[in-house]
Amino acid sequence: MATHDDPELERWVDDRMATLEPEPQKQPDVDEGLAQLKAHRAQQRGRKPIGLWLVSAAVVVWGGAMVVTLGPWTGDDPDPADVMAGATEAPPPGTTGGAAAGAPPPTRRPPTPGLTAIDERPDAPHFTLPDADGGNAMLADYAGRVLLLNFWATWCGPCKVEMPWLEEFEDTFGDDGFAVLGVSLDEPGWDIVRPFLERQPLNYRIALADTPERVAPFGETYVLPKTWLIDRDGRIASEHVGLVDFDSIESQIRQLLSE
């Protein structure tokens, strides 16, 4: 930067710089500022536990409402499913849920999957199960049709939530080559399932898998409800664990019917 030897100019610069000196009455009060900051932080700390509790409670209710584990609760604390204002019920005493006894509870609802690519779909297992009309329900009964196979139990709250949806699917798509088959995993068998169906009649077929032998073709089932969508060629196109998403299932049914 260039220098100047003009004394008048230097005095002018000095006078202007002097006006930039800080004025004491306008300086911030550091002690007061720190005190306000500490008070604000103390207030926030007092609110944090309540916020965390509300968030945690919401997560517990949401996750619990979606799924129910098979098998009775054995801990000293109440079953988390019972904390949900009756959204779910515990299995009756002595009920173990077939092959799924003692399974650990899931921590969250699994994401809803899309349809598996056609060339990657596994074959659905062949099965023969007694149905509520006294006959036998078999996979072969649904050859050439899209089948929604729903595993449920009378003590499962989310299963009951799904039932009106499944009835709607049966009504909407039944004439288009679609069917719903509900498979109860209640170990007391028809003694408990038939009275339930008398109280809550359903428009779709109900079968029973009340023994390990009858459950075996479907693999281990730790969580209810569980739903399979099976395409017209008898292949599993998607699996949904926990309470289904109505719109997602409806969309997948339409896709399978159009294949």
Based on the structure, what is the number of domains in the chain? 1
Which residue from 179, 146, 147, 172 is spatially nearest to 258, judged by alpha carbons? 146
One DSSP character per residue, 40-70 reads HHHHHHHHHHHHHHHHHHHHHHHHHHH-EES
Amino acid found at 199: R
Contacting residues for 1 by C-beta, under 8 A, at least 6 apart: none
Tell whether 253 is covered by a domain. Answer: yes
- Alpha-carbon distance of 154 to 40, in angstroms, equals 53
| Residue 201 resides in a domain | yes
Q: Render each residue's pLDDT in the chain as its tens digit; 259 residues.
A: 444 456 666 666 566 555 554 444 444 454 555 565 556 445 544 443 434 333 333 333 344 445 565 653 333 333 333 333 334 455 554 444 443 434 444 444 444 468 999 999 999 999 999 999 999 999 999 999 999 999 999 999 999 999 999 999 999 999 999 999 999 999 999 999 999 999 999 999 999 999 999 999 999 888 999 999 999 999 999 999 999 999 999 999 999 999 9
Residue 41 lies inside a defined structural domain of this protein: no
Domain span at residue 160? Answer: 99-258
Whichever domain contains 205, its CATH number is: 3.40.30.10
**62 within some domain:** no
> Among the residues of 24-156, which ranges form H helices?
30-66
Is 170 contained in some domain? Answer: yes
Residue 72 resides in a domain? no
Rounded to whole angstroms, the Cα distance separating 169 from 183 reads: 16
Confidence at residue 239, expressed as pLDDT on a 0 to 100 scale: 95
